[in-house]
């Protein structure tokens, strides 16, 4: 049996995928908090990341300005109920790939969604609350979802 001219390239591709996966796993492992409790952030900008696991973050600030939330084959839970917006609006850029992002927001915030689903991506978004007034702060969610979900509640 003779070997084809592409056997070496196939093995090189497999090795590259394994190295990339190990690098991504290491990056996700170093960014996760230790322990069972949710990490508490007092920063004005949200920076949350979950890779092949679960990450919980609670934001406690009086000047929330938005941020980034990324879930890759994992679950990210962000609690914003103790945060107050700086100004009238804030934007959270969300990227989901085969994962889930759960956001808990205060009752008086209005939520707007500009999320782009792909390949069966689904979202359950609370767009407006009856008790939210016309001058309520607006949280805008934007970004791509690939086989994932974003759930907003209180």
The domain limits of the chain are 1-31, 35-153
Give which of 40, 126, 114 is closest to 77, Cα–Cα.
40
Distance of CA 91 to the CA centre of its chain: 13
Distance of CA 69 to the CA centre of its chain: 3
Nearest-angstrom CA–CA distance, 145 and 122: 8
Going by pLDDT thresholds of 50, 70 and 90, the confidence category of residue 132 is low
Give which of 118, 111, 108 is closest to 141, Cα–Cα.
111
Nearest-angstrom CA–CA distance, 20 and 93: 24
- Per-residue pLDDT tens digits for 53-85: 899 999 998 899 999 999 998 999 999 999 999
Nearest-angstrom CA–CA distance, 66 and 45: 5
With a cut of 70, say whether residue 28 has pLDDT above it: no
């Amino acid at each position: 049996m003779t070997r084809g001219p592409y056997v070496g390239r196939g093995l090189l591709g497999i090795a590259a995928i394994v190295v990339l996966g190990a690098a991504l796993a290491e990056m996700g492992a170093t960014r996760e908090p230790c322990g069972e409790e949710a990490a508490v952030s007092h920063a004005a900008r949200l920076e949350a990341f979950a890779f092949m696991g679960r990450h919980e973050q609670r934001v406690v600030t009086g000047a929330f300005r938005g941020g980034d939330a990324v879930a890759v084959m994992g679950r990210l839970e962000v609690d914003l109920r103790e945060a107050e917006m700086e100004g009238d609006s804030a934007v959270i850029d969300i990227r989901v790939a085969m994962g889930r992002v759960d956001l808990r927001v205060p009752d008086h915030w209005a939520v707007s969604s500009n999320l782009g689903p792909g390949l069966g991506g689904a979202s359950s978004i609370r767009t407006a609350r009856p008790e939210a007034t016309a001058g309520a702060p607006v949280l805008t969610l934007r970004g791509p979802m690939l086989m994932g979900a974003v759930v907003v509640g209180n």
